[in-house]
C-alpha cells in the first residue's frame, strides 16, 4: 500500500471506531460505562484528525508532519468526501448485546487497529512516518489495556471501572 492508501485505511478504521463507541455509549445504561465509551469516542476523533492532517500534508506534496502539525491541518480534509458511506453509521453492535459483549467487540477492534498501525510503522520509509504510526499503535495498545481492565472489573465486580485520573490516553 502506498502512503495515502495507508492513511485512507487508517481514517476508515477510526471513523468506524468512532461510530462503534458512539453506539456503545448510547446503549449502555451505566454512567461509568457511558463515560468509558465517550472518552474513546473523543480519542478516535483525535486519531482521525491526526490521519486527516497527514493526508492533507501528503496529498499537498509535503512529507509526513509532526502530530501537532497534523492536528492543525486536519480541518482541510473532510473524511466523508473520501468515505461517503461513513456518513451513515450502520448498527455495529447487535441490539441484544450485553455490555460485556460490547467490551469484547471493542477489544477486538483495538487489537486490529494496533496490528494495522504496527505493520504501517514497520513499512514506514521515514522517521516522521514511523513516529505517526508508533504513536497510533501505542494509543491502540493503551485502549486495549484499558478495555481489558474494564472488562475484568465488570466481570469480577459487576460494575464498570472508570478512573478520572487515568483516562485511556491522549490528554492535551
Predicted pLDDT at 104 = 92
For the domain made up of 3-157, the CATH class stated in words is mainly alpha
30-41 confidence digits (pLDDT tens): 888 888 899 999
Predicted pLDDT at 163 = 55
Predicted pLDDT at 88 = 66
Domain boundaries, the chain: 3-157
Cell of 137: 499503535
Predicted pLDDT at 87 = 62
User: Rounded to two decimals, what is the model's pTM?
Assistant: 0.85
81-106 confidence digits (pLDDT tens): 777 776 666 778 888 888 889 899 99
Question: Which DSSP category does 100 fall into?
Answer: H
Of 17 and 84, which is predicted with more confidence?
17
Judge residue 165's burial from the number of C-beta atoms within 10 Å of its C-beta, 0-12 exposed, 13-18 middle, 19 or more buried.
exposed
Predicted pLDDT at 92 = 84
Predicted pLDDT at 169 = 47
114-172 confidence digits (pLDDT tens): 999 999 999 999 999 999 999 999 999 999 998 998 888 888 876 565 554 444 544 43
Predicted pLDDT at 89 = 62
Q: In sequence order, what DSSP letters do the residues of 46-93 get, joined into one string? A: HHHHHHHHHHHHHHTT-----HHHHHHHGGG--HHHH-GGGGS----S
Distances (CA, A) of 16 to 19, 54, 124, 158: 5, 19, 24, 28
Amino acid at each position: 500500500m502506498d502512503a495515502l492508501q495507508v492513511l485512507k485505511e487508517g481514517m476508515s478504521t477510526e471513523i468506524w471506531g468512532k461510530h462503534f463507541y458512539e453506539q456503545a455509549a448510547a446503549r449502555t445504561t451505566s454512567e461509568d460505562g457511558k463515560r468509558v465509551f465517550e472518552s474513546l469516542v473523543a480519542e478516535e476523533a483525535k486519531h482521525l484528525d491526526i490521519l486527516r492532517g497527514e493526508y492533507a500534508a501528503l496529498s499537498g506534496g509535503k512529507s509526513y508532519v509532526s502530530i501537532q502539525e497534523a492536528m492543525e491541518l486536519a480541518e482541510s480534509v473532510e473524511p466523508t468526501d473520501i468515505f461517503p458511506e461513513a456518513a451513515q453509521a450502520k448498527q455495529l453492535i447487535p441490539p441484544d448485546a450485553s455490555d460485556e459483549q460490547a467490551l469484547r467487540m471493542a477489544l477486538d477492534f483495538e487489537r486490529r487497529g494496533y496490528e494495522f498501525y504496527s505493520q504501517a510503522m514497520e513499512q514506514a520509509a521515514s522517521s516522521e512516518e514511523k513516529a505517526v504510526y508508533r504513536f497510533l499503535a501505542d494509543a491502540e495498545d493503551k485502549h486495549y489495556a484499558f478495555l481489558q481492565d474494564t472488562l475484568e472489573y465488570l466481570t469480577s465486580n459487576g460494575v464498570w471501572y472508570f478512573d478520572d485520573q487515568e483516562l485511556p490516553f491522549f490528554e492535551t
